[in-house]
Every structure is written in C-alpha cells, then in structure tokens.
Structure 1
Amino acid sequence: MDNNSSHNLSKTELLEENQRLKAELQAMRQASFAQKETESVFAHLIDQAIFPVVIVSIENDAILYANKNAYSYFGLKKETTTLKSADQFWVDSKCRQNFLQELRSKGQVDKFQAVLLTAQGKEKHVLLSSKTIEYQNKAAIYTVFSDITERVRVQTAYTQSENRYHSMYRMVNLMANTLPDLIWAKDLDDNYLFANSAIREKLLKCRPDETLIGKNDLFFAIRERNEGHRHTFGEICLNSDEIVKATRKKGRFLEDGLVRGQYLALDVHKAPMFDDNGELVGTVGAGRDVTADIKIQKALEESERRFRLLANNIRDVLWIADANLTPVYVTPSVEAFSGYTAEEFVRMPFISHMTPKYQRRFGGLFKRMLLAIDNREELSSSFFEFECKRKNGTIVWVEIATSAMWGPTGQLQGFTGMIRDSTKRVQEQLELKHAKKIAIAASQTKSEFLANMSHEIRTPMNGVLGLLQLLQGTELTPLQKKYVDTALGAGKSLLKIISDILDFSKIEAGKVECTKGVVSLRPLVASVMASFETMLDPRQVKLRCAIDPSIPDCIFACGPRLKQILFNLVGNAVKFTANGSIDLDISLVPRQDARQLLLKFSVKDTGIGITKNLQEQLFEPFSQEDGSFRRKYGGTGLGLSIVKNLVEMMGGKVHLESERGVGTVVSFTVLADVLEPELTAIDEEGVDATCPEIVSGEVAKVLVVEDEQINAMVISAMLKSLGLEVVHAADGVRAIEILKEKNFDCVLMDIQMPEMDGVETTREIRHSLENSNVAIPIVALTAHAMKGDREQFMAAGMNDYLSKPVEVEHLVEVLNRLKLNPLKN
C-alpha cells in the first residue's frame, strides 16, 4: 500500500489494519520467544549430552564450541578453549587431512576412527561423526565423539594374544620338528592328529607335504608293504595305545621292528590326552631311537661275557681298587695264586700279603703316588715287583702293574692293575746275576791273562826283534843277511798273530776304540801297498791301486782302524794269490748328506777263491777254509772277523764274493766326515810310514829304565845308533837317584818292574824331584797292549807311548815328536 491510498482509507479500516499489524507483531514476538526458548533448550540439551560435542571453525580451525563432556573428555579449561587450535589435538596430521578431505567431499563423516590427544597429552581412540553447519554466521564443523579407547585396547590385546598364540604354535611346531625324538598325538580311533618331522621321516615314511590327519599306523604299514618294502615294525609289540586309553595312565614301552628292511627300536613314552572337561580325547606319545643303544648294550653284554670268561680262565690276577687302594674286585684266578678265594682276598688290604721288607717299600710307593696325584701329575702305567706270602706261608714273587683311573672331570676314581707270578723269572734273574758275576770274573781273569801274556811274549820278542834289527845294521855275508831277514820276518809274523788275538779279545770285550782324526787317505793307502810289494814276485803278481779322483785328499775318520782293515784284506789277498793280480779300488758312493762321505773299498784278487758254503763262515772268529793239520796257509783265522767288527764300528758293511779257482772280491764301506777347513793337523796313521827326515843338532841324553837286560841292551843300541847318549837304570829307584844327580832330555820308562813299577816311578818324578828333571818327557816303554793302558800311563804323567817290540821307525817318530832330533843311520 502506498501513501496516497492510505489517505483514502477510512478510520475504521485504519483501526483494523492497526489491530492486524499489532496481532502480527505479537505473533512475531511470540514466535521469536518460542524460537529463543527452543534454541535455549537445544543448547542446554547439547551442553548436557553424554558424548563430547565440538564445533570447529572451518576458516581458522578454532574451537567455537565444546560441550561440558568435551571439556571433561579432553581436559580443557573454558577460558583457554578459544586459544586452542583443533589440529593440536590430532596425533597424526595425515589422518586429519584424510578426515577433512572426506568431509569436504561428502558434507559429513560417519564414524571416522582417529587418535586424539587430551590437553595433558594422553591418547584417546575415538569415532568421529561430523557434518558442516553454519554457526554464529560462520562455516563450521559439528562433530560428535564416541570414545573407543577401551575397545581398541581390548582389540589390541586380543590381537597380540592371537599373535603370541600363533608365534607359540609355530615355535612349538618348530621345536617338535627339530627334536630328533619322535612326537605325535592321536585321537580315540588312533588316527594321527599331529606328527613331527622325525616320526614322519623315520617311521611313517611320509611323502613330501603329505597330510596324515585321519590316517593311522596301519595305513602307512600297508602302503610300505605294497611298495615292496620289508616293514614289520610293531607287529609283535603290545598295543600300547589301547593300554594307555584303558588304564588312563601314562606308560613306557619298547617298540621295534623293520622299517624298509632296517631294524628300528624306539623307547616310547605314551600318555592319555584329556580336554578341559576331563574327557579322554586321545593319546600323545614320544619315542626315542634306541637302536644304537641296543646294539651297544648287546656289545657290552657280549664284552662282559667275554670278560667274565677271560677273568674266570686267566692265570694272571686282574684287580680293581678304590682311591685308597682298597681292593674292590679280583678275578677268581687269585685263589690259585695266593690260596685265598676272591672274597677273602678283597677283604684284605694289599699290604697284608707282602713280607715286612716290601710292606715298607709299598707304603713309601703309595705315598709317592698320592703326592703325585695332589700335584696334578699324571700317573702312567707302572710295574713293581714284590715279595709276598701265600695263605700257606710260602713265599712268592709277584709283578704288579698299576694304572690310575680318572673320572670325566679329572678326579681320581681308583686304581686298576694286574698281578703276575714272577717267581720263576726272579729265580732265573738271580741265577743270571750269579752267572754274570762268574762271567765277569772269568772275563777279568782272561783280560788279566791276556795282558800278562802280552807282556810276557812281547818282552822276549822285543829282545829278539831288536837284536835282529841291530844285526841288520852290521856287516853281514849274503847268507847271514838272508838268515837275519828271514828270522826278522818270522818274528814279525809271530807278532802279527799275537796282535790279532789281542785285537779280537778287545773287540769281544767291547774295549776297542775308534777315534776319528784327520787322515790323508792317499799316503795311508800307499804305505799299506808298499808294505806288501816286497812280499810279491812282480813277474807273477801285479799289485795295483786306484782311487777315485773326486775323493778329497784329507778326510775325518779313524785312520789306525782303516789301516788295520786294509792290512788284513790286502794281506789275505797276498797270502792266497800266486798268479794274476791284486787290485785295491776306492770309490765314492753318492749320498744326500753333504756332511759325510761314504767310501767303498774293494780288494780283488785272482787267488784260490773260496767255496760258496764257507763264505759266510769266514767272518766268524777262528774260521778258516782249510782247518786241517795239512793246511797250506797259516794264520789265526781272526782276520776277517776283526775286519767285520771294525767296519761296522765305522758305520759300514762288509761283503765277500768268491768263486773257487777264480778269485775273491772283498768290499766294505766306511763313513767319513767332510773335513772342516780349520782342521789341518794330519793323523799320524795317514802319513807315509817311511822314516821322516831328521834334523841334526846337539846330542840328546836319554835315560832308559828297564829291568830286562836284553831289552835294555836292545833299546840302548837303537838309541845309540840314532846318535843319542844313553844311560841305563835297572829299576825305578835307581832311575830317581840318577835323575836327582844329572839332567836328561828324555826318559824311556818300562812299566812292569820290581820294587817300583813305571807308573809309580813317573808319579815320584813328577812330585818329588826339585830340579829341571821334574818336567822331563817320559815315554812309556811296555809290552802291555790292552785298552786303557795308554790312558793310565798318560794320567800318571807320561808324555808318549811305545809298545814292545819296539821298531826303529816308531822310536824315531816318538823322539821327533819330543823334538830330540835323533840322527838317522
């Protein structure tokens, strides 16, 4: 209505309009009041709701409204609410972004699961139901929260429990399949509910990935037999499943038989299986493979049976004792040995069976054993011999072997040993000791006899050969010279026989020394060959020698013994060869050890030869091919025996080859050391045996102490022939008197003399004289030629040694070593 028209209205119409307007205004007022009343009621209802309600500004994420439950749920204070931003309550910002995205796309979100934080930082699991609204003229998000924290906790705990259960199941299953023992479970019909890998593979022979649920043992047994395998396992065993189900008690059973033809034995433990209500639902079992144990047990039983058989039949006594050496077991053989039964013997300590002397010895022995145990020393097997008494009082000697028995942790558990009757052996040993004493006495008697015989024979021979040598130096007719030469040769042959006998006696007694020294090999061999040249007719026999040029000129060996061997072998060849040749060959045998040389000597002749059946015997003492009274060739028969022993002493071997009427080859080897550069002194046996050049000088004075007149005359004549001045003393006492009055350059001292022998005289000179003769060179002049004589003389203070009969060449060598400068005729 416009203003013009209002002027045309009547008063009545105006009043009516006014009333209408008042009524509308009143209605509007009433409607507004009702709306406000409704809004107030609604706000009150929301504020009192049991669920948290929050209104958040979409624009700035500020919290516009939160009901009381929200304040309480999130631990908020009303005055700080507006200071909070909603995103501060979210644990996962990405989760909030997903929430907002879903809200924008759908306009509302129903039961969105999230994790929010309270003002105190505590996590709350919630379901969010939200929609967009307009609040206070602002776009906002209206959200109702449903707390599911407890539900999530329960669900998480359940899930964890499920996981633990499955993990435990897998662990139990893994353990069951890892164990070597067989483990299974069966229902009441004996069908398998569970079986580990061991039973599947060892007994049931399951196929890969085969399930056995609902199958029983018979199923697998029938399948094995149908496939051609020998399967008899359990056929003759008790039905253990039925026994366990019937008795409702656990049991232990031995089940065995063949599986695919191989014997299998199981030690089985079975038990009934009940459910939570106590109802029987099946059986469980575990079986251990005892096949090897049964075999071992059978072997042990067989071993024990054999031991019992041995213990009951053995003559020696086997015993076992505890750590205190108290017997705990002896074999029944103890009764035959001691007269006591095994039971009686065990009740008696070992020491009670011994004689008093050996009881003390046994006590000391046991103390030493215990001390060794305390010191953690190992007790090895030991043998002891004791004198014991039998039950009837007779004496018996026993040999006891003892060993300690140790436990697995090293503790002493006891002792074990053996007792053997050694009476016969001890008696034999006593007899042997007695025989040995007799033999030693006889050997000493023989040695003394040989020493005396050596002296008694060499003393007159010294006179004979000495006089013959002196006679050679005089003017003789040709016939006289022939007789003298022949007599001298016969005397030397006799001396050779005596030397062979003495050498053999010394070898037999083990008294031969083989002292190494520097040896010039070629001069040594030349001297040996030269010794035999005059004994051969060069028109009939050729004497030749060949030495390998690779052999060094000087070696380190035993020159005297090597020379003795060659003298024997070449001498034999000369003796038995009338025509042809005698060859000495020396070669070098290759060796890996560069520090030693292996020399091979070979003496070959074209003599009479030796029959095959006698060749080995020739190395035995006193053995000759022709031992009759009509034999053509002389000798002692000791030469080759001496050679064999000397060669073996020098680290070699000797070998003989011969043919009757053709000849003989005797070869031997010796070990020699390579000469060190600093060793330059030549062994006296390795130089030319001819007399050395003598340098003239002032005449030396020599005192000859000799009780035998002929020997004194011979040695004096030899010395005078060498241009020396000689004084003779008939005994040691006279020699000391002369030495007190006059000075001499040398003394030749006989050993065996009356009143005072040569050794005593030498000691008296060294300790009693007060003049220059106290240090005079003294040379032993003796017929004693046994081992140890030279050492005894040197220990008494002598300087050198000459063996009778004395040869001029040896006398000159000794005088030269003493630098007395004798003159050579």
Structure 2
Amino acid sequence: MNSRAPVWRQRKALFSVLFVSLAAALLWAAAAYFRGFEQTHRREVESQLTAVVDLKAAELARWRQERIGDASLFAANPVFSRLVRACFAGEAGSEDVLRVWLGRFQAAYAYDAVLLLDSGFRKRIVIPDRPERAISFVSPASEAQLRAGEVVLEDFYQSDGDGKIYLKVLAPVLDGDAGSSLLAVVGLRIDPNVFLYPFIARWPTPSLTAETLLVRRDGTDALYLNELRFRRGSALSLRMPLARTDVPIVKAALGARGVVDGTDYRGVPVIAAVRPVEGSPWFLAARVDAAEVLAPVRERAWLAAVVAGALLLAGAAGIGFVLRTLSARADTERVRAAGALDESQARLHAITESAQDAILMMDGSGNVSYWNPAAERILGYTAEEVKGRNLHDLIAPQRFHAAHLPAYREFLRTGQGAAVGQTRELTALRRDGREIAVALSLSGVRIEGAWHAVGILRDITDRKNTEEVLQRALEEKAETNERLEAASALAHHMAHEAEAASLAKSQFLANMSHEIRTPMNGVLGMTGLLLDSNLTDEQRRFAVVVRASAESLLAVINDILDFSKIEAGKLELAEVDFDLRTLLEDVAEMHAVRAQDKGLELVCRIDPGMPTFLRGDPGRLRQMLVNLIGNAIKFTPKGEVVVEAAAGNETASSLDVRFEVRDTGIGIPEGKLGLLFNAFQQVDASTTRQYGGTGLGLAICRRLARLMGGEIGVTSVEGEGSTFWFSVFLRKQEHSRGEGIEMADVKGVRILAVDDNATNRLVISEQLSSWGVRHEEAESAAQALRMLHAAVTSGDPFRIVITDMQMPVTDGESLGRAVKEDPLLEGTLLVMMTSLGLRGDARRLEQIGFSAYLTKPVKQSQLHDCLATVLGRSRKKGRTEAADLLTRHSLSESRRRSFRILLAEDNATNQQVALGVLEKLGYRAEAVANGLEAVEALRAAPYDLVFMDVQMPVMDGFEATRTIRSDAVRLQKRRVPIIAMTAHAMKGDRERCLQEGMDDYVSKPIVPAELAAALEKWLPTEEGPTLLPPSPSVATVEALPVFDRVGFETRLMGDADLIEEITRGFLEDVPTKLAALAEAVRQGDPAEASRQAHSLKGSSANVGAVAMSAVAGVLEAAASAGRIEAVAALAPDLEAAFAVLEPRMKELLR
C-alpha cells in the first residue's frame, strides 16, 4: 500500500494538471469568442439605430419645409390676393373660383382641410365643406406673426371640435393695394395619421421592440407627440419629466445627440440613438430593448457555457472517479483510472465533435494534437490525415509562411503573441487547394512545460465574398466613371471635328433661306402695291387671293424654319434692351384691324407697378404674343380679347413676367387640351379646314417659353372662351430710361372716361392716374351726362370727355351730340375711341364737334400726346374757333415727312417693295444699288437712317457699314442708325450685324409692321439736330417749373432715405459737370460739351428739375450741331437754372 502511494499521488497530479489545462484553454477560447461577437453585434445595432434616426430626422425637417413652401405659394401670389379681395368685396363668381382653386390644392397635396379666413381670423371658406364648430382656428401668438407677414407652422394640437390631433400651416395673404396690410389667411390643416405617424412608426427591419419616438419640450416635461408601440393614446398625453435623465428621449430634449443607454417610458432598459429635428422644436429617438439586442449574444454565451460546463463536469467526474479508485489495488486502480479517462475523453470528444466551429489543438512542436469534425468539414482534412503534422504547413498559404514563422516561434517560447486572446480574420488553405476566409480565436495552454495552442476557427468565406462583391461594385463604378470621362472627351473631340461640317450646313441653310424669302418678298410687296392701285373688282379679288396665299406660305415657311432650328438646338436667344409697354402696344396695333373687322374689343393691360424697361429677346416675345393674340382673334366670333402682363417673382436685377391672352371665343373641349402644344396637331381636322394653320405655332411657343426660362399653359371652357398664358424670365435694364411720360401738360386736368367695358375703363384709369390727371369713370352715356351737369354745378367742370363709340342704348356719337347741343357743356372737349373704325367716321365726328378720334388699341404715349395736343389747341385758338380733327395719323404725319431715309438694295424688285412700303407708311426714301453708292450718298448729304442689305455686289453691307463707322471718314456729324435687311434667318446673323457696327436687324420678306417698329425706334424724336431753337432767357427759365417735388418723391415711392441720398448726390455732381462743360467750351470740343449737357439733361429730369433739364436739352442740341458759340451763350443760363434750383432741393436734406 505504501509502495502505491507515490504512484497514486503522481497520477492524481497528472490528471489534475491535464483537466485544468484543458478546461482553462477551452474557457479562454470561449470567452475570447464571446467578447468579440458581443462587440461586433453592439456596433451593428448602434449603426442601424443611428442611420434610422438620421434618416427620419432629415425627412421630417424636409417635410416641414415643404409644408411651409406650400403655404408660401398663397402668400406670394398677387393673382390670389386680387381674387380674395374680389371675394370679400362680394364680386359675383369670385368665391366659386376660390373654392375651385383651394379644392384643387387640397386634393393635389392631400391636406385634411384648406381654410380661408378674413383679416379678423374668421372662417370664410372651408375645403372640404363640412360643418364645424365655431372654434378659433388661429392662436393669439400666431396672429401677431401673420400680421407681420410671416408664414406660421403651428405644432401638434388636439382639436376642440372633433378631438383629433392635427398640425396646421398658416400663410398671410397681403393686400398690396392697402400698404401690404393683412387681407386674409390661408390655413392648411394636416392629419398626422395620413403620413407623419405611419412614417415615424416604420422600421426598416423586423424587430419585436424597436420603435421611433417624437417629443417636444413642454415646460418641465418632454411631451410625446406620436402614438407609441406599447402604449396606445400616448400622443399629446404621455409626459416625461426632464429630471428623468435616465430616459433617452429626455436626454435628446436636453441636447444630447448620438447613441445612449437608459430606460424607456415602460422602465425597460433600452439602447437608443437620439438627435433634434433641424429647424423645429422636435426631438427624435430610435430605440430598441437591450434584451432584444443582447439575445443573440446570450445565445452564443449559452453555447460557450454549455461547452465549458460540459468539459468541467466531465473533468470533475473523471477526477472523482480516479480519486475513488486510487484507494483500491494497483491493478484495479489502473483499470478504473483508464476507464474514467476513457469516459472523460469520450464526453469531451462528444462536445467538441458536435461543435459547429472548428476546434484545433497544437502541441509544443506545432503539430496537430486535436482536430474535430467541424475542422474536417471546413478544411477538408480528416483527423487521421493531420495528426502529428505541422498545422502551420497544412493550412497557412505558402506566401504567409515567412511572416507568420517569427510570431509562431515566439508563442512556442513564451505562450504570448499578438494573435493570442484575439479574433483575427485570416486566409486558410483547404485540402483541395482552395483558399477560404476564416476568423481564428487563439488561446495558449502550458502542458508539461510546453506551450500548446487551442484555436476555434469559423468559416467566414460567404461574408467576405459579399464584401468583395461590394468592393468590386465600387471599383466598377470608378471604372465606369473613368470610361464616361473618356467618352465625354471623345464626344468633345468629335464635336470639334463636326463643327466645320455644321458651319458649312448653316451657311447652306442661310443661302437657301435667302433664296426662298427673296422671291416671297417680291410677291408680297408687289401684291400689296398692286392692291393700292386702281383695279377692277375681279382683279382685286385675284390679287387678294395671291397675297393671302403668299402670306400663308410665308407663315408655313417661317414656322417650319423656326421649329427646325429649335429642334436642332440652333436657336439662340438675343439679349437686348427693350420697352415691354411699347412692344405690347405695337403687337396690339398689328392686330387691331383684324379685331375691328370682326367687331371685337381688343384690350391690352400692363400691371401699373411692373417695370417695363427690360432686357431679353423682344423678337421671340413678340412672336409668342402675335401667335396667341392671332389665335384668340381667329377663334373668337364676338366679344373681346384681353391681353394682360403682370410681374411674378422679382429681384433687384430680374423678374418673371406672366402674359395672359383671354378671349370669349369658341373654347376648347377639355379632352383636347393635351394636344394643343404638340407639333403638327390641332384640336381636330375640321379646325384645320375652317381656320387653317400648320399646327406648329403653339409648339413653337412652348419651346420658346421654356428657352426663356418659363412655361406655357391654357384653361378653357367649351363655348365660353379660353385663356392662354405663358411666363418668361427677363432681366431689368441696368440703367433704365425714364418710364413715365411727361405729365406737365395734363397734370391736374379733370377728365371723364365713358366706356361700357370694365376692362377698358380700368386701363384708361391706370394711364390717367400715372399722369396725375383727376379723372372719374362712367359706364353709360346717361350716367356721363348726369356727372357732367353735376360737375358744372359744383364749379369744377370736366375739361375733357373720353368716350367709346360702341355702347348700349346711347352710343358715343349720340353722347357727343348731346354734349355739344347743351349750352352748359358745349365747351367740353370730346375725344372718341372706337374699336370699329369705318370710312366717313372722322368727317362726321369732326362736324359734330369732336376734337380727336383714335382707333383702339391706343398706345399710352398716343393717348397722352392726344390729350396734351387737344388742350394746347383749345388754349391757343379759344373755344369758338374750330380746329382740325386730331387722329393718330395726324399726330405722326408731319414728323414722318421730315425724315431722310437711304435704302441700299441691289435687287430691283426688293427696291420697289421697300420704297413702296415706306411711302405707304408716310416716309420719303432714296435708293442706291450697292454699299459703295451708299457711302457716296452719305458723303453728299445727311440722312436720318439707312436700311442696308447685307449681300450686294461691289461692296457688301458689312464693308459699307465699317466704312461709314470708320473714324477716318467723317460722313455725318452724328451717328446715323444703320438697320440690316437680309433674307438670312440663321443662328449668328443678328450678332454679326451688330458686331459689324449696325444698330438693328430686320428680315426679309419685308413685314410692314416690323419695318414701322424699326423706324419708330431709331428715327430721331426731334425734327433735326441742326435746327437750333431760340435760346431761353433767365426769364423763360423762371417761367418754367423750377422743381417738381411731388413728381420726384412719387417716382421714389416716398422713400425718405433714398430721396435724400439721390438729392445729395445730384447737388454734389452738378458743379463738377458744369465745370467740365465750361472746359469743353474753352477747348472748343462740341462732342464733349454734348455729352456733358446730355448727362445734365437726364439727371435733372429724373430729380424733377424741369427748368434746368429744358435748358440742358437746348444746349445739347446746339453742341450736337457743332455750334460751340451757341453753347457758350447758353452756359450761363444753365448755371442760373441750377442756382435757382439748389436752395429748393436742399430743403429735402435732413
């Protein structure tokens, strides 16, 4: 027994060391694996929560901005403001229009309700129309913001009416006519159950406990705003004190951002990502129960614990069995010990054999000592094949041997290393030679003085393959970008190579356009002249058919060429200065005859407050207006055609202009509206047969509108009429000309406007108001007579009556007879405006006693000149002396006859056409056959304007223009306007003409209206630069108004700061310019003297210095004529005018 004691102790120690070593190794490996998995899983959950809360917070912030943007559409819409004002004033039909507008808006944007409230915040319109309790819709806090013109978004609230939870957006509608005071409020009520609550509740992946929370601070609490997953009815009812800093959503309300741990409203531990919603009082949290997050970790921990526990139990059982049997005899002891060891190994083997991860063990030499079935499955070697073989040589790829060997030797020596106790991702080599990605957790165990390694290895090939696929996708994206850049460079290179061919094609098209338009010019021009000659009825009928056919063919050619250029991207927009009012009036005048022939009222109106001196492409703008107005007249058998222009969004340098052409014509079926803007399509075939047309006009208009930064559209009711509209983006002129017409002649005069058409009365009223006229309106002749008698009785009679011809019951002619036959009214001046001018009207009206007779549409400048002339005649001749009837033609006839015009054109037919058209327009012109003859003609005599053909023999138009503009050839004392005339209609023609020194460009065939517009634009406004009016004396200056202070302040809209700034700058600038003028006189330089005088004339007129501006204008004329001695004589008068003006203007300085 004593002899067996040492053996027993030896065996006990051996078995204990083996058991502890194996258990420690397994426990260490399990612990390392557990820690790595827990950290990785936690990071994934935090990343998901952060992504969810960031995405939802950004979407909520964007949603708020979109709702405020929806409401701002009403706050910034002058058309809506005018419609609301009309509704509140009780105008018929206005409320129905508002209901339709608001109803469409509510349906399109899915608002729960859209409300219109008056300035007292009382409900006037509710969409949808449903009974509601009379509850205040606007909180007191919001009322102040709305009156200040701000859009308000009222947060979540519970309605006192139906108990539901809503949000609302309130937009002020300002009354522009009442100093931007609050006119109404548009309210947009939002049901959060439609979008907000479902959006907040959505979660991207399946989860048992995840949810999103939205709160706002409410006093000392955080108030929950949405319905919670585990507590119904929580919205606006559940609160959490801000002192509860263990709750994540409270941390968010206190400014926290990121991932936090805590307990939620149920008292359950959670992990949450929190952040505020930018631009709002809201705070957002995305949270999930900690138990759900840790569930996978616990499962892995349980597995590790089972394995470790099984090992420990097996070891303990084995040791106990050995200790119990060691007390027996030696043989029995050995047998029983062997049995216990076998049993222990079997149990350990069962555990390791069932593991899904490979469990490996190396001895102190690096050879495999253990290899479980999972290792066989993952690496392909059986346990028998690897036992005793070096593990490193088996599974490590050859390329890693050199790098791994030093670390491996260090482990065998010390049991330490960078990989020990860590989970590393490595590449392993399978038996079949295929490399796989693995995650290896390595632990060291010291057995019998040597370090053994225990490793747990997991196959992560699928995960790595997925990562590689993503990486390849990124690399392919980069390669695709590189290929796109290469393709772009190639395309750029090919574009350069194609440019030469494109230029040749463009030149060909230009020449063909010239060849097509030149004979058309002859056909149209000669037909027009033929119709003005004495023809038989049959000949005239034939000639009219020829002209109509030629005009139709030219329209088709123009439409097709324009459409082709637009489709090919060859159409470029010009950017020049122009006057929108003049353009619109010219277009209306072009269509006036057609409207009169059909008995239609043609009315044009421009928003009085809108800038009209703009920069853009007036030609294309005119083209769109001509098309739309022409269509409106074509499809309107009776009634009126109204053209309106109004400003939209406006900045300091630009504005959007919206044009509307409204008619009372046949209308368009609703089902056909979508076809209108398609190329080569009309409403139906019968329309083409009855009215003609290519079907390209509206398609071209749509493309032009989009090229000019706008859009085009139409609304129509079949049988009632249509409204076509389009918008364009235009820039303001940097140095605008004065937009008003001189008001001195008619300011303060009392005038009565009589017209049964409300639109016409509005237009005339706005024009008269802009000139400072005291005016009133009457809608019938009977009302006008009553107002005339009442004015005479009051001692303040009307000086002028402007009347329409066509009125019900009593027309304008009968009204004129009644006025002239009444002894109390016979001194009243009469002006007739008619849409239906007929032969004999002028003579008959003159006999009745009318002073003027104008055909609509009447330009604003024409009406002003007419009124001023009528008043001037009456003051000069007296009431008893008859004066000739004033018409629009007599206003400009004498001025036109005084101009000298030179025409340079090599084609005899074109010469005849152009001279004939100019003669019909009332102008006198002389013709030459080439550019050289034009230069010689200008050397021989002065001309006011030159029309220059581009393609001519001997010397073309470009070379002639350069010669005329050359400093070496002093052909004129002033710059004569040169207007190009060419059949070219291709890209770049206009720009080249302007670059060569020409001033403008008209195309052939000649269009009389276009030619007339060019003449009006470029001919001088005074009779001639060489005619010098007599010099005004100081007494004359004193007789003129020294300072029109009211006009000056009105132009600057009463802005006191701006008035003072401009006044101070003017008073400081004038002495400098007077000194420069004196120096120019001393040097004998008339050009510099003219420039200084011109500057003084313009600046004086702008500040209301009437007398000084008049003297500067006379001085400028003298300097332009080269009469420096006259300038010297006038200079003291200019200084005297400023001396009188200066103290008056200083009164404006504070």
TM-score by length of 1: 0.46
Structure (1 or 2) with the larger CA radius of gyration = 1
Per residue, is there more helix in 1 or in 2? 2
TM-score by length of 2: 0.35
